[in-house]
Amino acid sequence: MCDDDSEQRKQKSIAILKALGIKTMDGLPRIESMDETVLRTKEEVARRTVGLMLISLYAEGLCSGEKRKKHRKWIERLIRLFDAQDFFTPDERAFLENKDPDMSECIKYSWQYEPFTVMLWALGFLSTKEALAVPAEVCDVTKAVGLMNGYKSYREFLSNAVLRDKEAILDQADLIYRYDWACVENRISNPMEHKNEWGIVMERHRALNWLINYCEDDWDDVTTDT
């Protein structure tokens, strides 16, 4: 297969954004084609999903004023339940082990509910409408975490996951890439507007770039180039 699929994908994304009244740049490059892309494995995605859920729950609790020591014990119980000791990145592990994290770190990691929701979509637990609608509002945390509450182990969760096909993931990766460019342009001209939207788009872009192995970067190093 040549690059025809990536050009078709680009044009489809541009049409979607124009229909929403969102500024696009026709000269923005295509992303990788089907032949050029090697997706993360189902198990890699499942491990990342669990890790993101746990780090988000921990950060949210600290943001809400939970005492760190008590809250850490609660998270440790969930880590054992999902056998997730090795599911965290080096940066996430440092945050978990920090005995006095500042509020900016807590807020940063509480935003990981957004990529967590993208991972649930990639594994077939959420529809595109549920997880990747126009990013005007933050994700439905209650729904996303509630889905995970139905599983009593990582293996049970993994066995129920079905990784979406490459085409579906690339379609969303291309669309968010172009949406991110529009957000960057808007941020330059309207720096005080749509801050939530920018955060949602950035986190979705990061998650989708990781899924398509963009630059083969590990999670802590994934970029969102536009």
CB atoms within 10 A of CB 205: 27
**Residue 136 pLDDT:** 84
Interval 47-61 mean pLDDT:
98
**Residue 197 pLDDT:** 84
Q: What is the DSSP letter of 225?
A: -
What confidence tier does 1 reach under pLDDT thresholds 50, 70, 90? very low
Percent of the chain at pLDDT exceeding 90: 84
Largest Cα separation within the chain, whole Å, is 55
What confidence tier does 195 reach under pLDDT thresholds 50, 70, 90? low
User: pTM, whole model, 2 decimals?
Assistant: 0.94
Q: Scan for tokens 């999902």, then name that residue.
A: 82
Looking at residue 195, its amino acid is K
63: left (phi over 0), alpha (psi -120 to 50) or beta: alpha
State in Å, rounded, how far the first CA of the chain is from the last one. 25
Interval 1-28 mean pLDDT:
88
Contacts (Cβ under 8 Å, ≥6 apart) of 96? 55, 58, 72, 75, 88
What confidence tier does 17 reach under pLDDT thresholds 50, 70, 90? very high
Quick one: 186 exposed, middle or buried, by C-beta within 10 A (0-12, 13-18, 19+)?
middle
Residues 115-128 have pLDDT tens digits of: 999 999 999 999 99
Q: Pick from 96, 101, 91: which is nearest to 75 by CA? A: 96
**Residue 23 pLDDT:** 85
**Residue 185 pLDDT:** 77
Looking at residue 117, its amino acid is T
**Residue ranges of the domains in the chain?**
4-39+165-221, 42-160
Task: Give residue 165's Cα distance to chain centre.
Answer: 17
Residues 59-105 have pLDDT tens digits of: 999 999 999 999 999 999 999 999 999 999 999 999 999 999 999 99
**Residue 224 pLDDT:** 92
Question: Taking all residues of the chain, what is their mean pLDDT, rounded to a whole number?
Answer: 92
